[in-house]
Amino acid sequence: MSVSVRIPTILRTYTGGQAEVPAEGATLAEVIASLEQNHPGIAARVLDDAGKLRRFVNVYVNDDDVRFEGGLDAATPDGAGVSIIPAVAGG
């Protein structure tokens, strides 16, 4: 499964400044592993020491917040758009 991942400004140092990068994987966990392969270091920014999504990171697959869709087990269909967004905005 090929997906497109939107990278927030604070992680673009890992992607050479690119705002959007391709990745592979049928689940979010696989997509993050794929990102890590191509952009070493990025996974540790998104996941905590226990390998879970950090509490101040929001991830969306298309328009769905993955916290409603099984977290790291959320399916990432072919062609999906994945967005990683800092959770501290708003309100």
Contact residues: another protein, CB under 8 A: 6, 8-10, 12, 19, 45-46, 54-58, 60, 63, 65, 67-68, 83, 85-91
- Complex with another protein: residue 26 or 64, whichever CB lies closer: 64
Cβ–Cβ under 8 Å, residues 31 and 4: no
- Complex with another protein: residue 19 or 26, whichever CB lies closer: 19
Distance CA 44, CA 22 (A): 19
In the numeric block, the tokens 């072919």 are attached to: 78
In the numeric block, the tokens 């998104």 are attached to: 46
- Complex with another protein: residue 16 or 89, whichever CB lies closer: 89
- Least distance to another protein, CB of residue 89, Å: 4
